[in-house]
Each structure stands twice: as structure tokens, then as C-alpha cells.
Amino acid sequence: MSRHGDNEFRLELDSLLPRNDESITKRENSRRPSIFRQQDPDGIENVRSQILKFAREGNVDQLRIILDKHPEMVNLPDDKDGMTALHYGARYGNFEIVKHLLSRGAIPVTKNLDGDTPLHIASKYHHGFSDICSITNERGTVVMDRLDSERMYNNATKKIINALVAAKSDIDSPNEYFLTPLHYAAMKSNIAAVQALVKLKANVDAEDMNQMTPLLLACVHGSQEVIKELIKAKSDVTKRDLRLNTVFHIVALRGEPDFLKMMMEHDPIEAIKALNKENNEGKTPLRMAVEGNHPETLKKILEMESKNSQKWMVREKELIHFAAEKGYLDIIKALVEAGGNKNEQNSKQALPLHVAAKMNQLECVEYLMDENTRDAADENEMTPLMLAVSQDSLDCVKYLIEKGVDLTITDRDERTPVYIGAKYNALQSVGYILQYLKDQTETTRSEMSETDCLKMSLASKRSLRNIMEDEKRTMVNMADRDQNSPMHIVASNGYLEMMRLLYEHGAAITQVNEDEETPLHRASHSGQTIAVKQLVEWDKRLLLMKDEMGNSALHLAAKHGHDATTAVLLLAGADKEAKNSFQLTPLQVAVDSGQLGTCQTLVGKGAEIENQSDAKTVLHTAAFYGHDTIARFLIQQGATVDRRDDKGKTALDVACENGRKEVARVLLETDEFESLMRPNDIIPLDKHRNPENMERDTPFRTLLKKFPDLAAMVMDRCVERNTEDENEPILCLAYNFEYIDDTYMSRVASPDGDGEQLIGYKSPFDENFKLIKDAQAYSGNYDQIYRNHPLKMMANAEKLSLLSHPLSMALLKYKWNRLGRIMYYSALFIYLLFIISLTEFVRHTKAPYNVPMGNDTYYESSFFEDNETCPQIDIQKPDFFWKRIVQILAICQIGIEFFQLYQRKFAYLTNWENWIDCFIYSTALLTVYDFTECSSTSGVRLNWQWLLAALCIFFGWINLLFMIRKLPRFGIFVVMFVDIVKTFFRFFPVFVLFIIAFSSSFYVILQNRPEFSTIFVSPIKTTVMMIGEFEFTGIFHGDSDSHTEKMFGPAHNAVAGVLFFCFCLIMTILLMNLLVGLAVDDIKGVQEKAELKRLAMQVDLVLQIEASIHFFITRMKKYPTNRFAHYPLGSQSRFGIWWTNFRKRFGLNTSNDDDSDMLMEYESEITTELRSTLKMQFNQLDNLQQNIDVMYEKQIRLEAMIRNLARGLNVGIEVEETDY
């Protein structure tokens, strides 16, 4: 280019870059000058850009000049793509540039960012007329130099490749994608590069990352010349890529018969083997040629198969089916000519004709159909006509009917072509068939004489008109196996146009299926509102028809929640109170299914919510299934909340039985909650008026067991507070104990007049809140009443929130103040008097082994056993007063115990505290009783009496401890102690093993010492040593002359020392700390539940007192009550109110701790009430949100329905969208 002179030629840069390389163009266009780049002409960036520019333009002279100045920058790459000047020289086919760069030391193995060497680049790009720079002179004449001529005929490519290889460039070097230069050359059809690389011994079988060889790539992208060169170079034609495709698979799919012929002729044996190989999709080259619709390629393969006696028909299945589906007629013909069976069946026993008819491939149908196959059936007994109708393939339908297919044939489900077309909404096909049948009928009618018609009419006893109607309706009303007609199926799918088409051709809309359902039933079941409306317009009598279960169309629409359909049926006059075979109305069915919207529609149209004759109401049904929103809606519409079903259960009872918490909450939030909470149990009485042994199960007890938070809500509503106004200045809190203290029931005569019974629905209290005359406890076993009391159930369930509720606290306070504290403190005082008297008696009594005889001698204890009298003994006797008190109190207490045994029967014996009481009182009597005259005169007890007194005193004071345990203030510490004892006994087996281990060892080593002399004494001494009483000096440094103190040798002393050390470490440090830790954990656990324990003990105390004296409580009519009024701020007279206001006005009012306590109690109750109110409001808001959601869903569905209607009627709707 330089030989023409710069003033004669100009370079058109637009054609400098190849038109097919967009990546380079983008890179060039993306270069922008940087404001941070040095503007020095000798800067590195400037020099590098000039070197790369001259390499691209092929300006050897300028490149030589700049490299003379900067020879070290010959290999400097571009920052963006890593291309060096050598890469660019190879890229644009400038051999002189490449030659000069190599002479300057350019490295031929340098790689760009993609891992391409200059050899890759040279092989990738070939140069023809499209790559030649347009060089013109001043007159506009295009001229060309030698370099351009070389590039034009690809001579430069060969020279560049030879030069690079000669410069030690790796001819098989892979890039990042494992592509070699030969891969690039084959891919780009660069024949010059292929020839040069093959000549230089490049690896023709190299594989890229997809295991593709250059030959495979050439088959995909290349030309015939490239493939020929690679085959000539002995490239392996059997190589398979990652998808197991051979070159035969690729050329078959691409449809290159010349390529295929070339490779077959190259190696026929390998070609035959390759034709039988499958890729990873199980496809052979033959199948790929069929799928690619390449008839010529297919013929080549079939010829090769035929020459080598290959039975492709056995190996390849359903090829003709595939071609028939796609409409490849030439493929089908080629396969049939090669021996293929055009009547071959696939896995579904379908012929190619079935597939072609289904896909409306008319030409294929014409070729494939013959007399034997036009009515052939597949595994579902579907004919080609049926399949064509199912896809509304009208062309094929017309052709098949013209060829005389049988229209009366049915499939496996006894469906006709009309039925199948109706099912798939094939309007055109069904319309054509029905019109064809109509035309045939009219032709037949025109051909019949009047005499023949009359004879047929008389023979069948029908009128002429009926005969013609039956003939016309035969196909349109023919039902399937389930007796569903075409009208049934289209009605259930909502195909309105198809319904009208069938109706126009005589379809019966009153026909029923095997479930006695009409098309209206099916449309209502599916919610096809438009279809329902059309059917009702045709015949309103359909509204009266019922299926085999007695369901009308309205029942089915309501059951499945189709609101719009329900509304249409009601508007058309459907009976909203009709009952099915289960005596359910549409409203009851809708409630059953939980369809709130449908319920609202039915009730809004006047449906009855309940009927007095119904066994259960819709509210019971909603409670059974847990539909809380429906239950709230029904209550709002006036449903009777406390109505009972045929089993005597309210909706609340049903909800609780089935675990429907939210429904129960809705019911309890109503104003009629008191009637819901009123029990309905009945307990029969025997002739002695003793109740049967039955545990009482009330609604409140059920709530305690299943929904404690709802029980708390009920308790909140049992606390009433009057308002502070002028007429009632004194604040009063009224508590209703009816539900948490239901021991008593009303006694009435039995309905049959034989005997009496206790009923729960009648209050046992009068208007003054006192027991009526006929009130009676529901059980004679007061232990059962105690266990089943609501307060006890709260304590057993550890429901602190319920026990600490103001209602529970008020009941406990009432029972404690009215009776509990009197009885408890009286019993405690009596028992304290008893145990103190017994202790005083024993304290002033000499032990039988400690009676002085004189001269510092004492009587033997056996003396008093052997002598009836002892006048010689003169000692001070215990005071007679203590003895009498013990005797009187013990006898009285034993009488009380016998009375309790009589009352409580076997339950009395199961309480260990009763056994302790009996033991204490009986042994006390035995202790103070004088069995001999000596005991009477001296006061000395017999030996066995004295031992019995020791046990009696011990258990007596321990029993006092357990009595104090019931006091809330002190009892918590006793509970702590009991828990620690329980934990110790759980740990006791481990503790005993340690004791046995060490005591046995000490017995063996220290057997000469008295404290370890026996195997039974040693554990006691070992246990005592745990508290620190080691006696180390006495054991290891005793008198060596004494047999009972000395150690026997150094070994003996060493073993004893080791055992003693282990004992100190394990028993006194580790084990004792472990016991202390367990005790601390127990104390901490009790403290965490201190309030719960305190309230539980208070409940036990109050209820046990009631159980102990229930005989007297029953006769104390004024003690039991169901309401209690409390004045937190005090109850005052008018003068007291005036005086209080006067003191407030002049600042003379005082306060004390009692007032503060009452005020705090009042504030606590008010806070609880506020919390309950807020919780109820939250639940109401939640339900309101649910109703809004339902309304929104309805609105969306209505909007969608309107849009569909408008679209069907071709009416445009303008929707104004407003952003809020």
C-alpha cells in the first residue's frame, strides 16, 4: 500500500473490519480517551495504541519506526482483550506485519483473554472480497496491490500459519474452551487454514470441551471442501460428542445428503455401524433425518440400510407416526417405499392415520387412509374421525365423512363423535357433522313415500312427526357409559355456543344421567353461570328436577360456593327451602361446605336460617366444621345461639367437642353467652335420693380442658361493675360464681314420674342467690366433687392466669372468709393443743430405763414389764390435765376419722394423711393409757409404750408441719422441702451405692474398730462421716497398743489412707455439692411457680375443708351462693359519704395500708376487664377483615365475569383506574 504514495490513495476505514465480526467492532467503538491518560507522545499508552493500530492497518514502515524506538513493547497486549500486535496482524491477514513482528521477537504462543494464540486467530478468520480494503486513486479508480491479492485468494493465511508454526507456535494448543486452531478453521470453513494445518500435521481428532472434533464442527458449520480435507486427513468418523452424536447424526439432522454420501463412501463399514448408534436421546441418524424433514438425506440412509440388509423397521418405531403428526408427506412416502408399514400401531395402538387426522394433516390422511383403516380404533377405541373432531380438524373431518366413515361407532366410554366434539368444544366439526346428519335425514325423508311413512308410524305406534324427530336427535342425544349426553358435558364446561348448536339440532335438556342429573345440575355443579342462565331460559321446569340424592341445581351450586350461579337460580325462581334426601336445604349445604358468600346470597334472598322442625340448625353445622365467619354471619342474621340439637347440645358444645376454637369464641362473644354456658346434664337419683356416681361435665369444664383462654374470657364476663354516676356513687363489683362453683343442682321429679333427678339447666339458687330447698350436691362422694371442681382443674392444669383471675380470687376469698378460715384455724388450734398436751405429758414422764432407784442406780426397763405395782417408786407424775386433754382430743379426732371413713368410703383409705392421723391419735391414746397399777401410781410408761410415744411425738409434729403447709404464707417453704426430699429419693439409689462401696471397704480395712465392726454398723458410720465427723486422728493415729485403735502394717495404713482420701473427695465434696445443687434447683423451680403453688394450696385447703364438712354445709343454706358483691372502695352510709367528701375538701382525708390494698385490687380488676375488652375488640376487627376479604374476592370474581361477558358480546368496557 505504501508504494502508491500517500497523496494518491486514501483508505476507506468503513470496510477495514470484517462485517461478520461484531465483537471487534464493539470493542473498537467502546474505546474512549481517558482524561487520566498521559498526553506525552512517548507515553506507554500512546506507544502501545500506535503499535496495535499499525498492526491492524498493515503499515509496516510506521511499525518498524516505532519498534526501533521501543523494541521492548513488541509483545505488549491490549488491556481490554489481551490482543497483541501479532494477534492483530494474524487477524487481518497481514503477512508482512506478522513476519516483521516475529523478526522483532514477538512471542507466537501469547494468548489473549479467551486463550487464543495468534495461530488461533489466523485460523479463525479467512479473507475474501468482503475483507479487502477498497483502495482508490484520485480519479476514484479502485486499484489493488500484491498484498491485497494474497489476502483475496487466502495465500496470506497459509503464509501466516506456516510462519507462526515455524516460530514454534503450538499447532494443537487449546484455548479456554479447548478449541484448537484446526477447530476454528473447520468451524469457519477456512479451507486455506485447514489445508495448511493438516499439512503441518495438526491433530485432526482433537476434542473441545463438548468432545467435538474438527470434523464434527465442520459438519455443523463447515463446507464440503473442509469435510473432504478432514476425511482425507484420516479424521475419525466414529468419534462422538458429549451428546453421543456422530457426524452421521449431525449431517442427517442438517439435511446434507452430499456430506452423508461423502462419509459413507469414505468408510462404508464404519458408516453402517454409525447408522445404528443412538445418541443420548436414543435417536439414530435415520430418526434425526425424519425429524429434520430431509427426504433426500433419508433416502440416502435408507439406500445404505437396504444395501447392507439392515432391517430398520424392526429397530426404528413410530417414525411414520412422527412424520404424520408433523405433516411430512415426502418422509412418509420415502419410509413406505423403503418397506415401512403405514398401518403400524404405536404404543397406544394408534395408526399414523389417527395421528395425522388429529393434527389436521389432510394430505397425510389422504395418503394413509384406505378401506381397512378409516374406522380403525386405538386402545381407547377412538377412530380417526373422533381424534380429528377432538382437535376440531375440520378439513380431515370433512374428508373422512366424504370417504364414508361410520358415524355411529363409539369409543370405549360409548362416546360418539358428536359427544367428543362437544366435550372439546369443537364447534366447526360438530356443526358440520350435525348438519351432515340433518341433510341425510332430509334426503331419506324425501325418498320415502307417504305410505311407507304411515306404515312405519303405525308399526311403532308413533306419529309421523315423532319418527322424524327421533331420527334427527339420535346422534345429538346419544349418551356415554355414564348416561351423560353431549348437553351434559358442554353444560358442565360452560360452552355456550356449543350448547346453542346442540339445542338447535334437537338436544334434549331434560335428559338425565345415571345419577339422575340434568344438564342444569352439571352446570350448577361446575359454576357455569352463563350455561345455567341459558338452560333456565329454555325450560324453567329444570329447577324442579332433582338428582338421585334429592339435590336440586340450587343445592349443588350452594355446595360448591358458586355465588353468581346461586343468584341466577334464585332469580329464576328456584326453591330456596327445598330439601334433599338428607333433609338439608341449600343454606345448610352451603354452611356444610363453608361457603360464606353463598350463605350471604341465600340469606339475602330470604332463605330461612332455622326451622323449628330441624334436628339441628345451620349454626350447629358451622360449629361442627369450624366455619367461624359463617357462624358470626348467622348470629348477626338472628340465629338462635342457645338452641339445642336432637342430642341436647348447643353450638358451643359441638364446637368444643370438635376442637373449633374460633367458633367457640364467636359464640361466647354474643350477649347470650350465659345460656350457652348453662349446663344441660341430668343425674338420676335412687330411691334414697343418692345421685348416681357420675362426673359432671359442664360447658365451662370443657373450656377449661380444651380452650383455657376462652374460659378466661367467660370469667371476664362474669365480673360486672356498675358505673360511677350521681345515682350510684359507690363502685360495686359483682361476681357470678355460677360456672366455677357448680357443686349443687336442682332436684325435680323425673319426666316419667318414677323417681327424681338432678338437672343442670335450672339454677339451684333463688333470687337472693341462696340455695333453694330442693338443691342437692351432684354427687355423694365429695372427694369426687373435690377432684372435679373447676378450681381444682385449674390448679391441676397449672393455669396461673385462671387461678389468679379476679373471679377465682373472689370465690376463694368468699369461701375462706365465710367458712374456710374458721374451720382451718379451729382445727389447727385443736391439733396444736393436742400435740402440745402430748408433748407436755411425755416431757413430765420418766423413761422406764431412767427411773432412779437410789445410790446412783436405776431400774431396768424390764422391771415395769414384770411388776404390776411399784409402791416403792416415788417420782413426780405428769399433770393429770395434759393426760385428759390428750385423751379427749384423741377420742374426738378418732370419731371424726370414723365419720370421714363412713362418708368417703374407699377414698378415705387412699389418702396417706388419713393413715398418719389415725396412727397419731391411736398411739397417743395407747401412750397415755395406764395398762398397769404401777403406771397409774408412778406415771412411768411400759417400754413398748415409751417407744410408741417417741414415734407418736415425731409424726405428730411432722403432721403439724404438713398442716401448716396449707397456709399460703408459710406453706411455700414446706413445698420446697418436700420437693427437695422427692429429688433426694430419686437420687437415693446412686447415693446408696456410694455408701455401700465405701462402708464395705471400711469394714474390710477397719474391722477391728467398734464403729466398723459389722457390715450393718459400717454404713451408719460412713454416712455420719459425710457431715464432717471424720475422727481422722483416732483412726490413723490411735493407741498402737490397743487392738481396737491400731493399724496393722504400712500397707494396711496406705490402703486405708487412699480410701479415706477418696471418701473425702467424692462423698464430702463432690456428692454433697451435687445434693446442694439439686436442692437449689428445686428451690428455684418452686420460686418460679410460687404464685401458682400458693394459689393451688389455697384451693386445696378451701375445697378439702368443704369436702370434710359437706354434711353440715348442705344444711347451711346461707353459705353457698352463686353471686357475690364486693366494694373495693368501701361501703358507706350517706353520712359516711358526706363525711368523706368533707374531709377531702379540707385536706383531712387519711389513707392506710388496707385502703391501698383495696385500691390496688380494684385497679387490678379494672385492668383485667380492660384487657378482656381489648381482646374482644381485636377479634371483632379480625373478623371484620375476613369479611372484607370475602367481599373483595367477590368483587374480583364479579369483575372477571363482567369482562368475560363483555368479551363474549364484543362490547368494549372503559375501566377508569384511579391511584389513591
Fold of 1-170: 1.25.40
224 with 190: CB under 8 angstroms? no
Distance from C-alpha of 437 to C-alpha of 506, rounded to nearest angstrom: 12
As a whole number of angstroms, the distance between CA 1086 and CA 976 comes to 6
DSSP state letters, 175-240:
-TT---HHHHHHHTT-HHHHHHHHHTT--TT---TT---HHHHHHHH--HHHHHHHHHTT--TT--
Run of H or E including 612: none
Using DSSP's 3-state secondary structure scheme, residue 1220 falls into coil
Query: What is the value of pTM for the model shown?
Result: 0.67
Instruction: Report d(CA 114, CA 120) in Å as an integer.
Output: 10
Name residue 1143's amino acid. R
In this structure, what are the phi and psi dihedrals at residue 143, rounded to the nearest 5 degrees? -125, 165
> 255 φ, ψ to 5°?
75, 50
For the chain, list residues with pLDDT below 50: 1-41, 129-138, 142-153, 453-469, 471-472, 726, 729-730, 1145-1160, 1215-1220
Q: CA 94, CA 458: separation in Å to the nearest integer?
A: 105
* Contact (CB, 8 A) for 1165 and 719: yes
CA distance linking residue 300 with residue 258, whole number of Å: 9
* Placement of cell 367477590 in the chain: 1194
Residues in the chain: 1220
Cell of 214: 474438527
Query: CA angle, corner 919, sides to 916 and 925, nearest 5?
Result: 140
Three-state secondary structure call for residue 854: strand
3-state secondary structure of 337: helix
DSSP H helical segments within 257-409, as ranges? 257-266, 268-275, 285-291, 295-307, 312-315, 319-326, 329-337, 352-358, 362-368, 384-390, 394-402
Which amino acid is located at 888 in the chain?
A: I
Grid cell locating 410:
363409539
955 Cβ contact list (under 8 Å, min separation 6): 916, 919, 920
Separation of alpha carbons 722 and 706, rounded Å: 32
Binning the chain into helix, strand and coil, the percentages to the nearest 5 are 60, 5, 40
Quick check: 240 and 270 in contact, CB under 8 A?
A: no
Q: Residue 506: what residue type? A: G
Sequence-separated (6 or more) residues with CB below 8 Å from residue 361: 324, 325, 326, 327, 329, 396
The Cα 940–Cα 927 span in angstroms is 10
Using CA atoms, how far apart are residues 842 and 950, in angstroms rounded to an integer? Answer: 9
pLDDT of residue 276: 77
Distance CA 229, CA 1068 (A): 98
Contact status, residue 1094 vs residue 808, Cβ threshold 8 Å: no
286-326 pLDDT per residue, tens: 888 888 888 888 888 787 777 766 677 667 778 888 888 88
C-alpha cell at 250: 449431525
- Helical axes 968-1005 vs 943-964, angle rounded to 10°: 130
What residues does 757 pair with on adjacent strands? 684, 748
Contact assessment for residue 219 and residue 251, using Cβ atoms and an 8 Å cutoff:
yes
The answer to whether 1129 and 1162 are in contact (CB under 8 A) is yes
β pairing state of 744-749 and 756-759: antiparallel
Under a CB-based contact definition with an 8 Å cutoff, are residues 164 and 170 in contact? no
Alpha carbon 436 to its chain centroid, in Å, reads 57
Q: Residue 617 belongs to what H/E stretch?
A: none
**Residue 94 burial class via C-beta count within 10 angstroms: exposed 0-12, middle 13-18, buried 19 and up:** buried
Whether 541 contacts 574, CB under 8 Å: no
CA distance 963 to 292: 99
Q: Are 1129 and 777 in contact (CB under 8 A)?
A: no
719-721: strand order across its sheet: 719-721, 733-736, 1123-1126
> What are the strands, taking DSSP E only, across 847-891?
852-854, 857-858
Nearest-5° Cα angle at 232, 226 to 234: 110
Instruction: Count Cα neighbours of 556 within 13 Å in the Cβ-side half-sphere.
Output: 25
Gap between the Cα atoms of 486 and 478, Å rounded:
7
Conformational region of residue 168, where left means phi above 0, alpha means psi within -120 to 50, and beta covers everything else: left
DSSP letter at 858 equals E
Q: Helix, strand or coil for residue 651?
A: helix
Query: Domain 317-411 belongs to what topology?
Result: 1.25.40
Render 527-588 in DSSP notation, one character per residue.
T-HHHHHHHHHH-GGGGG---TT---HHHHHHHTT-HHHHHHHHHTT--TT---TTS--HHH
Distances in Å between the Cα of 994 and the Cα atoms of 1001, 1057, 1071 are 11, 18, 9
Q: Which of these, 928, 810, 932, 918, lies nearest to 870 by C-alpha position?
A: 932
Angle between helices 880-904 and 821-843 (to 10 degrees): 140
Place of cell 392444669: 797
pLDDT in tens, 337-381: 888 888 888 888 889 999 999 999 999 998 888 888 888 888 888
Distance CA 378, CA 167 (A): 71
Q: Strand, coil or helix: what is 246?
A: coil
Q: How far is CA 829 from CA 565, 973, 1013, in A?
A: 80, 21, 49
Res 518: pLDDT:
93
Across 861-875, b (16+ Cβ under 10 Å) vs e yields: bebbeeeeebeebee
| CB proximity list for 411: less than 8 A, separation 6 or greater | 377, 380, 381, 382, 383, 386, 420
